[in-house]
């Protein structure tokens, strides 16, 4: 019976339920998209390419482990094991090859070497060395802007797993470039942006690669390239190619072209093959291999062979993978991106869920408030509280089911679009395939149904419980909020203040970011519960200015005071929109500006060497040190290390002449002691406090590839935000990195740009920048990195904006009878519209004050915790744009429904609504 009444009510009051339907549909779409990203992080497939012909792959363990034993009072012990991934690739000892090859059932064991090898350009026809002129015809500053290596320690941080941004093309054609002299290098006009790796030709069977032209590499200056690279750039055997690898760029002769046998070309990487001796030199890991591909002997069961290999390697750091587990071994960045995507999807999903609950409850509250008279009449004709609750619950379930299904269908393509955008931005690699399971859709549908039902029950709790006579009285005159709502609002207000307090003591971005947005949502929820009182208080302050606006302003004042609950339901989503938008836009500038300020104050260098490609080779830094007027050149490499299981940003610096280029503001210890010790480290104040270290203390850590190291703390410095938490000797850090090239080189002295450029003639793709130019380019790169966060939170803000328009439109469209009565009392259409504009502006002022206050409190606490100063970076023009956009939404969502409501004749409207 109640279901039939619910369906009839929905059919007769489509407009009243449209707002709740839209809110629920958007919530379901958002939760589906976020859930799909989360599931991709948990179960996303990483398909292998290079190891396609090796059914079993042995690799090094890519994690740091810690086992803790807790003794309980009853004599029992609890063993807890944790593992965290390292930033760089861990390598295997080469003697594992002999141990595996000797096992029964092993047909062939092929060692693999994988190292960075980036094609740069073809040498000039005359065979001279590469010129220092930019290979793409662009200016030095534009080249540095595309560098994949940042110049600030804080901004250089990488996510879990150490995934780096892929190298950018070194030779994009410039449409306005002039013809080149024959002595200049010929650019690779179609070099793909996908990563490029070098291998030994002996490992070609792992794919397998077969020669389609030319011969295998035999000399140290031979290279075999894959068919894709050759076809895109018109290369053929006999041509020469400059390759930037772990050492100085070197020209090679293309001895052959290879392609995978019996399968399509590799899509995710470019492969270059060298002779065994040259591959070992470039890999720079003597006595170690990247992985070992194993082919079973005929008739050998793969599962049994895997057990034998695991047993033979027991007690070593080796791990064995078969099937789809081979993909994460090959693509470490994709494996690391899983963790990042789980974190990102969880944060987005959690915030989306909180925002959706707040928006949906507010929308249902407004919908039920508009039906107060109707529900009161049902109570007056003997409807029981249980019947009212069942009616509202069934209405909500019907609307929620329809909205949930459509929202899920809209959320699936939204998830696909988000996945593609994250790939384009470099946040996740293309090798991590999106997973489209049924769990996110089912979860979104369940959340939508439960949320709609709960929102309806919460919103209709008062009307269902009061006596029939009181219900009729309340339908005519608005009553204040219930005592429980006030108590809940005060509790949440205290909770928001507590979160702000906690935020001011959080020192890491990973810990502070979720608390930041949670504090905004909790504070906005407190505003929604205490909204009627806040609106009444604001109406007293706005009474004077509104009366000065004439009759429309006086009517607006009376409406705000008499319908504070209705106005509060509009204030809440607008407050959330402004507060959340300001927080999203100004969190990254607050952190980035503080990091750049510390970097500017600490860099003493006159010039900065930046690379358009993977980095600056040590040979280039050595050439600059010999240039006239140069007193010091400091090479800087960056990665992340593990102290225990905690991740810290680390930079490695060449120690000679360091004081001439770098000043981290040492507060204890001595920078001189750091520069004169090969087993010393400098550490930021924040890291020192967290780890309980001081000068002379022992610092135990795992380097980028998981190698343990023990260093002595020589100095503690203040500018950790600008230069990272840990500063280690350059050679120690670079030896354990996939890319040992310097991110930047700081050059001190009075040498000119031309002199430095001349010293770099044989190193293509390097630029000499002033410290000011490097700082400006770093600011641009920070903006690019922040784009990922803007996209992630942009969907939530878009949902909130839709809720703002939705709520305002619902609030206005249900006031047709009120407008008709005003018209019959003598008010003109213009006066009624002026009243609506005055109300909208009042709501905007209240929401702006509340939202800005929430954002300012949260941003200030974030700034105190992360930078040590209460000075968030708020851009006035951007803030004005946020408020202006909110004003445009508020006025448009008020004016359009208002004009439609005023089209009908007042007398007919008043009679039809009796």
Is the pLDDT confidence value at 320 over 90?
A: yes
pLDDT on residue 507: 81
Tokens of 108: 């062939």
Pick from 153, 165, 158: nearest CA to 591? 153
Quickly tell me which residue has 């507010």 as its tokens.
362
* Strand 288-289 versus strand 222-226 pairing type: unpaired
Q: With cut-offs at 50, 70 and 90, classify the pLDDT of residue 124.
A: low
Determine contact, residues 185/121, Cβ cutoff 8 Å: yes
Q: Any residues with CB less than 8 A from the CB of 128 and at least 6 apart, and which?
A: 183
Determine contact, residues 503/858, Cβ cutoff 8 Å: yes
Q: With cut-offs at 50, 70 and 90, classify the pLDDT of residue 422.
A: confident
Pick from 59, 163, 113: nearest CA to 272? 113
Pick from 44, 51, 84, 87: nearest CA to 65? 84
How do the residues of the chain divide into helix, strand and coil, expressed in percent and rounded to 5?
55, 20, 30
How far lies 53's CA from each of 48, 114, 262, 454, in Å?
10, 16, 11, 55
DSSP 289-331: ESEEEEEEPTT--HHHHHHHHHHHTTTSSEEEEEGGGHHHHH-
Counting every residue written for the chain, the total comes to 914
Of 355-364, 449-458, 742-751, the one with minimum mean pLDDT is 355-364
Tell me the mean pLDDT in the region 507-520: 86
Residue 748 backbone dihedrals phi, psi, to 5 degrees: -110, 150
**pTM attached to this predicted model:** 0.78
Of 42-51, 64-73, 466-475, 889-898, the one with minimum mean pLDDT is 466-475
pLDDT on residue 618: 93
Q: Any residues with CB less than 8 A from the CB of 68 and at least 6 apart, and which?
A: 79, 80, 82
Is the pLDDT confidence value at 483 over 90?
A: no
CA distance 674 to 567: 63
Is the pLDDT confidence value at 316 over 50?
A: yes
CA distance 751 to 628: 6
pLDDT digits (tens, 9 = 90+) for 659-705: 999 999 999 999 999 988 889 999 999 899 999 999 999 999 999 99
Of the two residues 787 and 232, the one the predictor is more confident about is 232
Q: Any residues with CB less than 8 A from the CB of 185 and at least 6 apart, and which?
A: 120, 121, 122, 123, 124, 130, 131, 135, 242, 764
pLDDT on residue 482: 66
Side-chain-facing half-sphere of 510: CA atoms under 13 Å: 11
CA 487 to chain centre: 37
Pick from 787, 774, 788: nearest CA to 147? 774
pLDDT on residue 15: 61
Determine contact, residues 478/568, Cβ cutoff 8 Å: no
pLDDT on residue 542: 78
* Strand 92-93 versus strand 106-112 pairing type: unpaired
pLDDT on residue 52: 92
Tell me the mean pLDDT in the region 779-806: 75
Determine contact, residues 667/706, Cβ cutoff 8 Å: no
pLDDT on residue 298: 92
pLDDT on residue 469: 59
Task: Read off the DSSP letter of residue 195.
Answer: -
Determine contact, residues 93/654, Cβ cutoff 8 Å: no
680 strand-pairing partners: 712
* Strand 63-71 versus strand 708-717 pairing type: unpaired
Return the SS3 of 848. helix
Of the two residues 114 and 537, the one the predictor is more confident about is 114
Class of residue 299 by CB neighbours under 10 A (exposed 0-12, middle 13-18, buried 19+): exposed
Q: With cut-offs at 50, 70 and 90, classify the pLDDT of residue 393.
A: confident
Determine contact, residues 882/582, Cβ cutoff 8 Å: yes
pLDDT on residue 478: 52
Is the pLDDT confidence value at 553 over 80?
A: no
Tokens of 117: 């090898």
Tell me the mean pLDDT in the region 568-576: 84
Determine contact, residues 254/225, Cβ cutoff 8 Å: yes
Is the pLDDT confidence value at 791 over 60?
A: yes
How much of the chain exceeds pLDDT 90, in percent? 39
pLDDT on residue 13: 63
Determine contact, residues 334/429, Cβ cutoff 8 Å: yes
Tell me the mean pLDDT in the region 308-326: 92
Pick from 702, 557, 581, 705: nearest CA to 642? 702
CA distance 237 to 252: 11
* Strand 118-122 versus strand 240-244 pairing type: antiparallel
pLDDT on residue 121: 73
CA distance 125 to 136: 17
Of 230-239, 399-408, 460-469, the one with minimum mean pLDDT is 460-469
| Number of C-beta neighbours around residue 698 at 10 A | 10
Determine contact, residues 52/207, Cβ cutoff 8 Å: yes
pLDDT on residue 168: 32
Is the pLDDT confidence value at 179 over 60?
A: no
Give the chain's mean pLDDT. 82
Task: Read off the DSSP letter of residue 193.
Answer: S
Of the two residues 135 and 908, the one the predictor is more confident about is 908
pLDDT digits (tens, 9 = 90+) for 769-778: 988 888 888 7
Quickly tell me which residue has 């995934």 as its tokens.
163
Is the pLDDT confidence value at 158 over 50?
A: no
* Strand 630-643 versus strand 270-274 pairing type: unpaired
Tell me the mean pLDDT in the region 807-812: 76
Task: Read off the DSSP letter of residue 616.
Answer: B
Q: With cut-offs at 50, 70 and 90, classify the pLDDT of residue 175.
A: very low
Tokens of 214: 């030319």
Of 151-155, 265-269, 407-411, 413-417, the one with minimum mean pLDDT is 151-155
Class of residue 548 by CB neighbours under 10 A (exposed 0-12, middle 13-18, buried 19+): exposed
CA distance 573 to 493: 17
pLDDT on residue 14: 64
Q: What is the CA radius of gyration of the chain?
A: 33
Pick from 306, 319, 334: nearest CA to 90? 319
Of 51-60, 75-84, 307-316, 844-853, the one with minimum mean pLDDT is 75-84
Tell me the mean pLDDT in the region 515-532: 88
């Amino acid at each position: 019976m109640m279901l039939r009444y619910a369906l009839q009510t929905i059919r007769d009051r489509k407009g009243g339920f449209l707002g709740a339907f839209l809110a629920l549909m958007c919530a379901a779409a958002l939760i589906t998209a976020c859930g799909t990203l989360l599931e991709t992080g948990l179960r996303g497939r990483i398909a292998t390419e290079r190891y396609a012909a090796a059914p079993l792959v042995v690799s090094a363990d890519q994690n740091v482990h810690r086992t803790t034993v807790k003794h309980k009072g009853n004599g029992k012990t609890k063993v807890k094991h944790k593992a965290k991934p390292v930033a760089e690739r861990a390598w295997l000892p080469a003697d594992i090859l002999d141990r595996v090859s000797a096992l029964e059932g092993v047909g062939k064991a092929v060692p693999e070497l994988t190292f960075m090898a980036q094609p740069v350009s073809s040498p000039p026809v005359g065979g001279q060395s590469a010129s220092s002129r930019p290979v793409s015809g662009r200016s030095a500053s534009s080249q540095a802007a595309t560098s994949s290596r940042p110049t600030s320690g804080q901004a250089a941080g990488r996510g879990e797993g150490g995934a780096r941004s892929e190298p950018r093309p070194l030779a994009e054609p410039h449409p306005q470039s002039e013809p080149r002299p024959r002595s200049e290098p010929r650019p690779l006009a179609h070099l793909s942006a996908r990563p490029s790796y070098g291998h030994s030709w002996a490992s070609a069977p792992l794919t397998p690669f077969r020669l389609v032209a030319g011969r295998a590499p035999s000399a140290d200056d031979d290279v075999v390239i894959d068919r894709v690279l050759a076809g895109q750039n018109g290369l053929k055997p006999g041509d020469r190619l400059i390759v930037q690898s772990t050492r100085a760029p070197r020209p090679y002769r293309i001895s052959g072209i290879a392609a995978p046998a019996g399968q399509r070309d590799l899509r995710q990487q470019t492969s270059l093959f060298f002779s065994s001796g040259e591959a070992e030199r470039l890999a720079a890991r003597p006595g170690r291999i990247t992985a070992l591909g194993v082919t079973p002997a005929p008739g050998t069961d793969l599962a049994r062979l895997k057990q034998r290999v695991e047993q033979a390697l027991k007690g070593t750091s080796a791990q064995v993978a078969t099937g789809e587990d081979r993909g994460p071994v090959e693509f470490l960045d994709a494996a690391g991106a899983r963790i990042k995507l789980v974190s990102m999807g969880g944060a987005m999903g959690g915030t989306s869920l909180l925002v959706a609950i707040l928006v949906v409850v507010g929308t249902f509250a407004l919908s039920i408030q508009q039906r107060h008279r109707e529900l009161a009449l049902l109570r007056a004709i003997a409807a029981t509280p249980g019947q009212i609750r069942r009616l509202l619950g069934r209405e909500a379930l019907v609307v929620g089911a329809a909205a949930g299904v459509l929202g899920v269908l809209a959320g699936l393509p939204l998830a696909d679009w988000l996945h593609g955008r994250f790939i384009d931005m470099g946040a996740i690699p293309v090798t991590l395939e999106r997973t489209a399971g049924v769990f996110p859709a089912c979860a979104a549908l369940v959340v939508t149904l439960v949320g709609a039902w709960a929102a309806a029950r919460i919103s209709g709790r008062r009307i269902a419980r009061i006596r029939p006579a009181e219900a009729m009285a309340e339908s005519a005159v608005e009553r204040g909020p219930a005592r429980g709502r006030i108590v809940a609002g005060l509790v949440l207000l205290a909770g928001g203040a507590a979160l702000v307090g906690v935020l001011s003591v959080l020192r890491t971005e990973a810990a502070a970011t979720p608390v930041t947005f949670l504090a905004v949502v909790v504070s906005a929820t407190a505003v929604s519960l205490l909204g009627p009182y806040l609106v009444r208080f604001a109406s007293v302050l706005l009474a004077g200015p509104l009366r000065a606006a004439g009759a429309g302003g006086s009517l607006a004042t009376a409406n705000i005071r008499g319908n504070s609950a209705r106005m509060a339901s509009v204030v809440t989503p607008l407050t959330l929109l402004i507060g959340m938008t300001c927080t999203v836009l100004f969190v990254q500038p607050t952190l980035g500006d503080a990091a750049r300020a510390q970097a500017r104050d600490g860099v003493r260098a006159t010039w900065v060497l930046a690379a358009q490609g993977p980095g600056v080779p040590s040979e280039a830094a050595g050439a600059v040190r010999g240039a006239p007027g140069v007193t010091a050149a400091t090479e800087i490499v960056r990665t992340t290390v593990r102290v225990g299981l905690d991740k810290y940003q680390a930079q490695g610096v060449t120690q000679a002449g360091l004081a001439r280029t770098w000043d981290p503001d040492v507060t204890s210890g001595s920078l001189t002691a750091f520069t004169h010790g090969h087993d010393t480290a400098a550490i930021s104040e924040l890291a020192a406090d967290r780890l309980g270290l001081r000068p002379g203390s022992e610092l135990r850590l795992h380097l980028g590839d998981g190698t343990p190291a023990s260093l002595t703390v020589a100095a503690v410095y203040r500018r950790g935000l600008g230069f990272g938490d840990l500063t280690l000797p350059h050679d120690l850090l670079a030896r354990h990195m996939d890319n040992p090239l310097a991110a930047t080189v700081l050059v001190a002295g009075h040498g000119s740009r031309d002199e430095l450029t001349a010293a770099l003639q044989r190193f293509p793709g390097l630029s000499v920048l002033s410290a000011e130019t490097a700082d400006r380019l770093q600011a641009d790169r920070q903006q690019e990195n922040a784009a990922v966060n803007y996209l992630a939170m942009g969907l939530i803000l878009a949902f909130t904006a839709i809720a703002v328009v939705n709520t305002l439109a619902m609030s206005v469209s249900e006031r047709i009878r009120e407008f008709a009565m005003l018209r019959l009392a003598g008010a003109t259409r213009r006066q009624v519209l002026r009243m609506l504009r005055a109300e909208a502006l009042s709501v905007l002022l209240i929401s702006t004050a509340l939202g800005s206050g929430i954002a300012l409190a949260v941003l200030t606490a974030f700034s105190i915790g992360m930078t040590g100063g209460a000075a968030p970076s708020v851009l006035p023009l951007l803030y004005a744009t946020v408020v202006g956009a909110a004003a445009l939404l508020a006025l448009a969502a008020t004016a359009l429904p208002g004009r439609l409501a005023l089209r009908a004749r007042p007398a007919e409207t008043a009679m039809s609504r009796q």
